[in-house]
Structure 1
Amino acid sequence: MNTSTKIKLSVMMFLQFFIWGGWYVTMGPFAGNNLHATGAETGALYSTQSWGAIIAPFIVGLIADRYFNAERILGVLHLVGAVLMYQCYAAVDISAFYPYVLGYMIVYMPTLALVNSVSFSQMKDPEKEFSTIRVWGTIGWIVAGLAISFLFHWDAAENISQGFLKYTFLMSSIASVILGVFSFTLPATPPKVSTGKVVVSDVLGLGALKLLKDKNFLVFFIASILICIPLAFYYQNANSFLTEIKVDNATGKMTIGQVSEVAFLLALPIFFKRFGFKWTILVGMLAWALRYVMFAYGNAGELSFLLITGIALHGVCYDFFFVSGQIYTDSKAGPQIKSAAQGVITLATYGVGMLIGFYIAGLISDAYNTPAGHNWNMIWLIPAGIAAVVMLLFFIFFNDKSKTEAVIEA
């Protein structure tokens, strides 16, 4: 991969996750404080991500693997997303806000698979090259969080009450315009499937579901769904939790998780080579359970180190499960269904798993909410237990010794 291509892919990843990190983390406190949303309503807002992820394989299978260049549809989707994000900024109540968030996530979630497809198509050795590109997405998320807390101070207590968090949506809208235009300069990623014969299942991206015939990939797919149930608790509740217990600059402090993500992303190829895919995934699952226990018993005072450590574990949680899972999926998919395969794993994680997770997280948040505040101890111990059970099941049933392990160990 030449330097020009590497720079373009890095900028693409930076903007892709700057946009997401620019509004997604703070939507919980914004909805609760400014739109007066309940826990269930906040869960519904976050579950729009899941509906988008469920639809994503169909969009990607239709356009990126069959008819249109991936980089072109990436640009179109981000331009449409910019308009919807601006409408989120302008919305004044939950009934007006929800449809625009839903529409935005339907056009945004397919782009997660598309940026991976564009990247992988330029790589000869994804196991070694992908992490150096993907790390720029994490840096983009970090920059967005730091800007919110330390540059604009939108998440300061007095500014939250005045509705300043709405400007996070305006910031993301502007970034979406930039990425939408920039996408048309990315390396050409043409469709790899012949359009001579149209098969409905392939057009809808369902051809990649044949990967589920592989017993180990099926176990990985199911585990991906289950581990995203506790993951939803973090995305929905973490910023609100830190804000409620009076942690200063909560959004900025949460970027510690992305800083650790950068470090562990760069270390991922080394861990892969030494321990293999199965143990990499298991360490990621263990990190989810540990971080929630730390959240359950940490506070803004003398036990604040538990909160910081729990946030810092995000690098292990995300990289060792999600990024390694994307690489594993790419190794299992043939050249004709690479984009659709990434869409399928997006469906399992950000789609089905988080849809269930956000629903459960909303119910749990309301169940442990009293006039005195939330019982955060129980709200965090429940997903910790779920993560521990998933880890045990994956350890027992997954035993892949195929080409991925061979490539990693070579």
Structure 2
Amino acid sequence: MGIKNRLVGMSFLQFFVWGAWLITIANYWFGTRQWDGTQFGLVFATMGFASIFMPTLTGIIADRWINAEKLYGIMHILYAAVLFYLPQVGDPATFIYVMFAAMCFYMPTISLSNSVSYAALKSNGYDVIKDFPPIRVWGTIGFIAAMWITNLTGSKASEYQFYIAGIAAVLLGLYAFTLPKCPPQNLTKENSSLSETLGLGAFKLFANYKMALFFVFSMFLGGALQLTNAYGDVFLDEFKHFPKYENSFVVEYSTIIMSISQISETLFILAIPFFLRRFGIKQVMLISMFAWVLRFGLFAYGDPTTGLWMIILSCIVYGMAFDFFNISGSLFVETNTSNKIRSSAQGLFMMMTNGFGAVFGSVVSGWMIEKYFTRSFNNSGELATFLETEPANQSMESFVTGQGVQVAADGSFNNAIMLRDWPSIWLAFAAYALVIAIAFAVMFKHKHDPKEVANIAH
């Protein structure tokens, strides 16, 4: 099997083991477990906290002491072990701690997989700009395959989503030991400083204004990514509360609808080489930021019937929003760092996007949604008006009783019913992305140089 085909297999499984539960875990949390929504943001924050230190730490280890592909395999096997245990957890607080352990093992494998791919391609004389995107696209296909399997097997609200991911993670962990060798490059020399000995050279990148600014904006864009991962599927699923939408295809197959986002990724990943050579790295990343504005804005006005085209278009736009920053950003780091700190620099990029960015996005959005965008209904009249139906409508009454709420003769509820105001939520997210895009356009000074793109390839 050729080098590129072997990397394709790694990329496919790398994101399969994440996609099996990432988009559907909200249904497990809110539906099956019926846990408090205020704590749900912490589930996605665990990815952020783990990404603050684990990718950088494993990157340093891979740069100095252990082959990257071996460390990669070990991390996936440990990740699988935690996933198998996760469904046994019976309370939300413990669930969050166990999820944090899983993320400590998984999140660094994303940057490690980039390092292994870049090293293998370069050592075999391939053009990274041309040959990496078609390999990386198989990761998105793996993510889509996992989402479809989870949805079509009826597992999107059950513990089986974690078992699906765990089995695949074991296979990937074992497969990793057969990958091309990626030995440490940054070996310790005599009279080395403490910083060099510990492999902290990548942090010197913050001394460069342009690199520091790039990492700051990476953090803010990382926050936007977590918003759509955390709430996209549950947003579509909650249309079931509206009688006119409750039997729609969107509600029943919300995860498959969301997978259009990943299908779109496959197309835009393949377009990255053209856009990078034509427009340059800054313009490509700026296009990504405005795509996030469209992603959230279209969700705000979409619905499962007359507004279905907006939901679908939002999912298509997601491919550009995600790929154009994350993939081009990874390549930007590659061309602005030396081979000696390759893995730790990629880990640093991961720390800012899926680390600080994810924590910021998850915690702030969770608090904001609960405080400002969750509506309370105290009687059937208020709820009926919101759901656009009559108080006596059987669908609404079924919804009320399904929530465990008793209805008095005057139509009042013994406990308030809480529903999220999704249009306002998505508009707030769109405004956030717009501010980031404008600030990036003004502050990040970087002229397009075709030679820079050529340097990435070699």
User: TM-score range with shorter-chain normalisation?
Assistant: over 0.9
TM-superposed deviation, 1:108: 0.7
Counterpart among 99, 103, 106 of residue 105 in structure 1? 103
Assess if the C-alpha contact under 8 Å between 2:51 and 2:354 holds in 1. yes
More moved, 83-92 vs 347-356: 83-92
Q: For residue 387 of structure 1, report the CA deviation from its aligned partner.
A: 0.6
Deviation (angstroms), 1:311:
1.3
- Residues of 2 paired with 1:281 and 1:215: CA distance? 18
* Shift, 1:245, TM fit: 1.1
Q: CA-to-partner distance for each residue in 1:240-278, whole Å, 9 max, x for gaps?
A: 101101322111111111111000100110111111111
Residues in 1 aligned to 2:65 and 2:325: alpha-carbon distance in whole angstroms: 31
Partner of 1:176: 169
Q: Are positions 1:140 and 2:142 aligned together?
A: yes
Residue 354 in 1 paired to residue 358 in 2?
A: yes
CA–CA distance in structure 1, aligned partners of residues 161 and 140 of structure 2: 18
Moved more, 281-290 or 223-232: 223-232
Aligned partner of 1:18 in structure 2 is 16
Partner residue of 2:286 out of 260, 273, 282: 282
What pairs up with 1:3-402 in 2 under 5 angstroms?
4-124=2-122, 125-150=127-152, 152-155=153-156, 160=157, 165-197=158-190, 199-202=193-196, 205-246=199-240, 247-367=251-371, 368-370=373-375, 371=417, 373-401=419-447
Q: Equivalent residue of 2:40, what SS? A: helix
How far residue 286 of structure 1 moved from its aligned partner, in angstroms, is 0.4
Distance change >3 Å, CA 387–CA 75, structure 1 → 2 = same
Summarize deviations over 1:17-46 as a string: whole Å, max 9, x none.
000001111111211122223333110011
Deviation for aligned residue 1:98: 1.7
Specify whether residues 88 and 392 from structure 1 end up closer, same or farther in structure 2 by C-alpha distance, changes over 3 A only. same
Moved more, 3-12 or 66-75: 3-12
Deviation at 1:390, TM superposition (A): 0.7
Greater Rg by CA: 2
What is the TM-score normalised by the length of structure 1? Answer: 0.93
| SS in structure 2 at match of 1:135 | helix
Q: Deviations over 1:268-307 (max 9, x none)?
A: 1011111111110011000101110111111122111111
Aligned length, in residue pairs: 399
Q: Offset at 1:326?
A: 0.3
Tell me: CA distance 1:294–1:73, structure 2 relative to 1, closer, same or farther (3 Å).
same
**Are the equivalent residues in 2 in contact too, given 1:148–1:252 (CA < 8 A)?**
no
The answer on whether the counterparts of 1:298 and 1:304 sit within 8 Å (CA) in structure 2 is yes
Aligned residue for 1:373, secondary structure, equals strand
Q: State the match for 2:405 in structure 1.
A: none
Q: Any conservation in 2 of the 1:45–1:98 contact (CA below 8 Å)?
A: yes
Per the TM alignment, residue 232 of structure 1 is displaced from its structure 2 partner at its CA by 2.0
Distance 1:126 1:208 in 2: 21
Check conservation: 1:60, 1:205, Cα contact below 8 A.
no
Which stretches in structure 2 are left out of the alignment for 5+ residues? 241-250, 376-416
Q: Tell me, in whole angstroms, the C-alpha distance in 2 between the residues paired with 1:205 and 1:373.
A: 49
SS at match of 1:301: coil
Stretch moving more, 247-256 or 203-212:
203-212
Q: 1:211-257, CA deviations, whole angstroms, 9 ceiling, x for partnerless residues? A: 22222222211111112223221111111101101322111111111
8 Å Cα contact 2:56-2:351 kept in structure 1: no
Of all paired residues, the percent bearing the same amino acid is 35
- Partners of 1:313 and 1:407 lie apart in 2 by 25
Letter in 2 for 1:228: G
Provide Cα deviations, 1:320-362, integer angstroms capped at 9, x if missing partner. 0100000000001101000000000001100001101100110
CA distance in 1, matches of 2:92, 2:358: 21
Query: What corresponds to 2:453 in structure 1?
Result: 407
The one-letter amino acid paired with 2:35 is: A
Equivalents in 2 of 1:257, 1:406: separation in Å?
30
Aligned residue identity for 1:386: Y
Whole-angstrom CA distance in 1 between matches of 2:279 and 2:59: 33
> Secondary structure of 2:83's partner?
helix
Q: Is the 1:22–1:145 contact (alpha carbons within 8 Å) kept by the matching residues of 2?
A: yes
Output the aligned Cα RMSD.
Answer: 1.8
Structure 1 residue ranges without an equivalent (≥5): none
